[in-house]
């Protein structure tokens, strides 16, 4: 097909103007913001001069005295736990370092030894506060996170696990103990909460847990990581999650609640059930490294007794499907292999994509080549269907000269041309929708791989060619401004994916009948342009797959069209079929379509008569 040079030049100029517009707008906004900040700073300095300086040292001492008095009052019978110095204790196994604090007798944070954050430091999880309220006196109550526990030495057990305990006692004999056990080579921490005098420490023997967390950025793009972050939970032994909503009130027993980032999660599990609770969650919107804010309240009824033991577990680790499926029921679904509208692709990922990927990864260390082999496998599996579409395209290419003659003969009679075209296709045994099969196949495969590459932690930090991390976008050029919908960078794999898609569009247009509708005529060129914006922030694993898939499509089309499909034989078969057509009943769809085209033709003829 011969391209219209003016159209191509128009699209290029439109793209250049689009980039220049957003660059100019961004520069103007930055200038306005800088001027506004300068004015605010000047006003702040003027306002500061109007007020008398405060003796900050005296104010700090007074504040500390008031704070200490409040803490002592709140601690009630646990006076010794009211004021203290925070002490940290570390317990390590082969894959993580767990840092405990005596303030609250809890996990302060966990460092994962196998994973690095965007700033090259180890991934740190647990920027949270997890505790509960206890009665400290007749009219006093305090949160466990505000009290200082007494830490015991770390004990190494016979099974190579390590244990540490934090104890809280008062003069009346009530005791609270947090006992933690860290097993070798595991991310799960066992946490036993023991209470002596539970009937006095708790109201109505109900344990009310509070969990506040602000997960931090660990990937290259905080904005993209926020989009991949959720709150997941198991309610009534069914997996669910919060994405668009900001809160969830639990109506059934809850087995676990997880704060999930793109590749990591922190999960609170109980071996019993939380009887009720609520979670409030919001994604971050600023430019900080904080991804979201999570506040959860979970309640549990304990047996009416003076002593009680509650068994919890804490998971601080990767969203690794192989690990999570062995931890607790439903935890493997934190790995998004397809949800909601796209849940139909989960079986494709689970039973096809993942096993094949793992098979190739078993003997090839570079994941870029694994993705290439995975792409070849997908194309081989779908080749019987794509071959039929290529054959249909070849037939349409053979019929193109006849279609051009019919078009020239009928001129502006679009309805007449459509009817003659359909008649010709029917005589030749051509399916005009046959070329859509590869595009239709790409839809479930694309969504399956989009979910797979976004959630596969094995790709994280894996380099290939110019990409330093296949789980994120590659950057060959950094822009000094941000283009809405595009970003502040240029991805080379995105460009290769778009260019190969553009070449396929040109090739396909050359073998299909000429479209009179401008929208349909230029859509194959508009789509790759839109892909440029959509793909630029996607993982380079996905854009690399798309590049390989498009390249294979082009190669297969050329080989099949040039060396496998014989156009002379196709034309001979079409002529033979015309000479001895088989009587075949029309389908209802064909009858309705022909009736519709006939009625449209009559309407057009009436309009032409009225104009004359």
**Phi, psi for 478 (deg, rounded to 5):** -100, 130
DSSP letter at 149 equals P
Based on the domain organization, do 294 and 361 belong to the same domain?
no
Based on the domain organization, do 328 and 361 belong to the same domain?
no
* pLDDT exceeds cutoff 80 at 400: no
Give the range of the structural domain holding residue 144, as residue numbers without chain letter.
Answer: 74-335
Contact indicator for 311, 190 with CB cutoff of 8 Å: yes
Asked if the structure places residue 55 within a domain, the reply is: no
**Separation between Cα atoms, residue 197 and residue 179, nearest integer Å:** 17
Tokens at 371, concatenated: 């993705």
Contact indicator for 349, 337 with CB cutoff of 8 Å: yes
Task: Return the CATH number at 256.
Answer: 2.70.98.90
> Is residue 72 classed as helix, strand or coil in its secondary structure?
helix
Based on the domain organization, do 137 and 171 belong to the same domain?
yes
* pLDDT exceeds cutoff 50 at 281: yes
pLDDT confidence of residue 65: 47
* pLDDT exceeds cutoff 60 at 139: yes
Decide which of 335, 357, 380 is a domain's last residue.
335
Q: What is the mean pLDDT of residues 99-107?
A: 94
Decide which of 274, 307, 335 is a domain's last residue.
335
Q: What is the mean pLDDT of residues 537-566?
A: 84
Based on the domain organization, do 479 and 520 belong to the same domain?
yes
Asked if the structure places residue 507 within a domain, the reply is: yes
Q: Break the chain down into helix, strand, coil percent, rounded to 5.
A: 50, 25, 25
* pLDDT exceeds cutoff 80 at 525: no
Based on the domain organization, do 379 and 466 belong to the same domain?
yes
Based on the domain organization, do 323 and 353 belong to the same domain?
no
Confidence of residue 517 (pLDDT cuts 50, 70, 90): low
* pLDDT exceeds cutoff 50 at 64: no
* pLDDT exceeds cutoff 60 at 44: no
Q: What is the mean pLDDT of residues 296-311?
A: 89
* pLDDT exceeds cutoff 70 at 600: no
Confidence of residue 1 (pLDDT cuts 50, 70, 90): very low
Based on the domain organization, do 388 and 248 belong to the same domain?
no
pLDDT confidence of residue 4: 45
* pLDDT exceeds cutoff 90 at 252: yes
Tokens at 90, concatenated: 């570390």
Closest CA to 496 of 451, 532, 462: 532
Count the neighbouring beta carbons within 10 Å of the beta carbon of residue 295: 16
Asked if the structure places residue 3 within a domain, the reply is: no
DSSP letter at 305 equals S
Confidence of residue 427 (pLDDT cuts 50, 70, 90): low
Based on the domain organization, do 442 and 564 belong to the same domain?
yes
107-111, 238-242, 532-536, 564-568: least confident range: 564-568
Instruction: List, in order, residues 6 or more apart from 9 with CB less than 8 Å away.
Output: none
Decide which of 304, 335, 366 is a domain's last residue.
335
Based on the domain organization, do 422 and 475 belong to the same domain?
yes
Asked if the structure places residue 58 within a domain, the reply is: no
45-54, 70-79, 111-120, 518-527: least confident range: 45-54
pLDDT confidence of residue 321: 94
Based on the domain organization, do 373 and 232 belong to the same domain?
no
Residue carrying the six token digits 């309705």 = 592
Contact indicator for 216, 289 with CB cutoff of 8 Å: yes
**Separation between Cα atoms, residue 424 and residue 422, nearest integer Å:** 5
Contact indicator for 308, 198 with CB cutoff of 8 Å: yes
DSSP letter at 561 equals I
Tokens at 197, concatenated: 């005098």
**How far is the first Cα of the chain from the last one, in angstroms, to the nearest whole number?**
36
Q: What is the mean pLDDT of residues 91-98?
A: 95
pLDDT confidence of residue 163: 96
- pTM for this model (two decimals): 0.76
**Separation between Cα atoms, residue 318 and residue 308, nearest integer Å:** 32
Asked if the structure places residue 50 within a domain, the reply is: no
Asked if the structure places residue 57 within a domain, the reply is: no
pLDDT confidence of residue 8: 46
Residue carrying the six token digits 């840092």 = 99
> Is residue 278 classed as helix, strand or coil in its secondary structure?
strand
Based on the domain organization, do 260 and 399 belong to the same domain?
no
18-22, 263-267, 531-535, 591-595: least confident range: 18-22
Based on the domain organization, do 310 and 369 belong to the same domain?
no
The pLDDT tens digits for 444-482 are 888 899 899 989 999 999 999 999 999 988 888 888 887
**Separation between Cα atoms, residue 150 and residue 168, nearest integer Å:** 6
Asked if the structure places residue 22 within a domain, the reply is: no
pLDDT confidence of residue 218: 93
1-5, 28-32, 311-315, 442-446: least confident range: 1-5
For the chain, what percent of residues have pLDDT higher than 70?
71
Count how many domains the chain has: 2
* pLDDT exceeds cutoff 60 at 46: no
Asked if the structure places residue 535 within a domain, the reply is: yes
């Amino acid at each position: 097909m011969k391209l219209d040079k003016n159209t191509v030049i128009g699209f290029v100029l439109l793209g250049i103007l689009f980039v220049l517009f957003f660059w100019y707008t961004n520069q103007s906004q930055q200038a306005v913001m800088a001027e506004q900040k300068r004015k605010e700073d000047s006003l702040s300095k003027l306002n500061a001069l109007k007020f008398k300086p405060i003796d900050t040292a005296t104010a700090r001492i007074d504040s500390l005295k008031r704070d200490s008095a409040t803490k002592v009052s709140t601690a009630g019978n646990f006076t010794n736990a009211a004021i203290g110095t925070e002490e940290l204790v570390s317990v390590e196994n082969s894959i993580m370092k767990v840092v405990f604090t005596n303030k609250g007798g809890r996990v302060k944070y966990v460092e994962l030894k196998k994973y690095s954050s965007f700033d090259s430091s180890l991934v740190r999880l647990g920027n949270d506060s997890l505790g509960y309220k206890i009665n400290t006196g007749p009219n006093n109550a305090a949160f466990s996170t505000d009290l200082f526990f007494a830490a015991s030495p770390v004990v190494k057990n016979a099974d190579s696990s390590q244990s540490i305990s934090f104890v809280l006692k008062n003069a009346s004999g009530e005791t609270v103990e947090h006992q933690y056990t860290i097993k070798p080579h595991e991310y799960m921490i066992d946490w036993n909460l023991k209470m002596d005098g539970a009937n006095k420490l708790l109201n109505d023997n109900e344990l009310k847990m509070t969990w506040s967390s602000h997960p931090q950025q660990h990937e290259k793009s905080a904005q993209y990581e926020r989009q991949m972050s959720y709150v997941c939970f198991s309610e009534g032994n069914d997996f669910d999650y919060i994405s668009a909503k900001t809160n969830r009130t639990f109506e059934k027993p809850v087995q676990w609640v997880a704060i999930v980032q793109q590749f990591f999660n922190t999960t609170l599990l109980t071996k019993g059930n939380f009887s009720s609770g609520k979670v409030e969650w919001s994604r971050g919107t600023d430019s900080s490294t904080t991804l979201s804010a999570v506040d959860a309240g979970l309640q549990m009824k304990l047996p009416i007794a003076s002593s009680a033991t509650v068994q919890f577990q804490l998971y601080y680790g990767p969203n690794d499907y192989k690990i999570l499926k062995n931890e607790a029921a439903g935890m493997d679904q934190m790995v998004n292999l397809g949800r909601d509208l796209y849940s139909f692709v989960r079986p494709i990922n689970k039973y096809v994509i993942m096993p094949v990927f793992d098979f190739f990864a078993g003997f090839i260390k570079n994941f870029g080549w694994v993705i290439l082999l995975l792409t070849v496998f997908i194309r081989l599996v779908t080749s019987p269907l794509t071959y039929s579409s290529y054959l249909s395209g070849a037939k349409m290419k053979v019929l193109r000269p006849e279609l051009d003659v019919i078009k020239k003969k009928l001129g502006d009679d679009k309805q007449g041309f459509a009817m003659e075209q359909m008649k010709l296709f029917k005589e030749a045994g051509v399916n005009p929708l046959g070329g859509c099969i590869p595009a239709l196949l790409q839809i479930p495969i694309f969504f399956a791989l989009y979910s797979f590459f976004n959630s596969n932690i094995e790709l994280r930090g894996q380099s290939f060619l110019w990409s330093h991390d296949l789980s994120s976008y590659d950057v060959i050029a950094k822009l000094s401004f941000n283009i809405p919908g595009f970003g502040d960078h240029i991805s080379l794999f995105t460009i290769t994916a778009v260019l190969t898609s553009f070449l396929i569009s040109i090739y396909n247009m050359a073998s299909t009948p000429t479209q009179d509708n401008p929208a349909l005529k230029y859509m194959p060129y508009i789509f790759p342009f839109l892909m440029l914006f959509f793909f630029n922030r996607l993982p380079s694993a996905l854009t690399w797959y798309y590049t390989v898939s498009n390249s294979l499509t082009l190669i297969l089309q050329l080989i099949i069209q040039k060396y496998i499909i014989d156009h002379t034989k196709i034309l001979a078969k079409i002529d033979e079929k015309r000479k001895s057509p088989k009587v075949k009943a029309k389908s209802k769809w064909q009858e309705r379509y022909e009736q519709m085209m006939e009625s449209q033709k009559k309407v057009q003829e009436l309009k032409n008569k009225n104009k004359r």
